[in-house]
Chains A and B, each alone.
Chain A
């Protein structure tokens, strides 16, 4: 298996632009997580899905952020409009819901908003 796949790996955009980050979880996993990592705040959970349904989006910072999971093999995290304080590394991770199952992380998308 190729593991969790994220694209793009790097994104540089200007303030006010729309940004879309993409994730393909490991085949067969039924939980998907979006995290944001910064030096100041560490690793923060933004939202997680179980069986394609958003379960907890309390970590989404504000309405500018939205996430979708239209099917079991694809998810997007969208920021519209983007702001410089959104600059961070965004990770997607997937796991099996039940039992003692580890969470696998993708390589991350480094977002820079100028």
Chain B
């Protein structure tokens, strides 16, 4: 089955700096890679996703890159704000199942 690894587990950045979270996956058949943001007491919410036929996608301050050859994908948040503080999960879809990373707790220091 698919195995998704995520790093780092915790990340602290100063407000205005960039944050990068990286994930690797093992199943070359995985074709869809969403990123979720989970705030305290809430369920994960999709913030951006990328399909296997695309190398990069951007939505305002958030971008995701995908390297299919190396089987890794990354989340980039620029100009971080305190409200970006949350736990972020990467995931890979293989078949009908979603496989999640272990999460990154991001703290943006004002």
Number of residue pairs spanning A and B whose beta carbons lie under 8 angstroms apart: 46
The docked-state distance in angstroms from the alpha carbon of A108 to that of B34 is 19
A62-101: CB near B (< 8 Å → 1, else 0) gives 0000000000000000000000000000010100010011
Query: Which residues in A have their C-beta under 8 angstroms from that of B32?
Result: 100-101
Complex contact A56–B97 (CB within 8 A)? yes
Question: How many whole Å from B60's CB to the nearest CB in chain A?
Answer: 18
17 more contacts with CB within 8 A, not counting A43-B103, A45-B98, A100-B49, are: A31-B96, A33-B98, A42-B100, A42-B102, A45-B97, A45-B99, A48-B97, A50-B96, A91-B44, A93-B43, A97-B96, A100-B31, A100-B93, A103-B46, A105-B44, A106-B43, A107-B43
29 A-B pairs within 8 Å (CB atoms) are namely: A4-B43, A42-B100, A43-B44, A43-B89, A43-B100, A43-B103, A45-B97, A48-B96, A48-B97, A50-B96, A91-B43, A93-B43, A97-B96, A100-B31, A100-B32, A100-B49, A100-B51, A102-B49, A103-B34, A103-B46, A103-B91, A103-B98, A104-B46, A105-B36, A105-B44, A105-B45, A107-B42, A107-B43, A108-B43
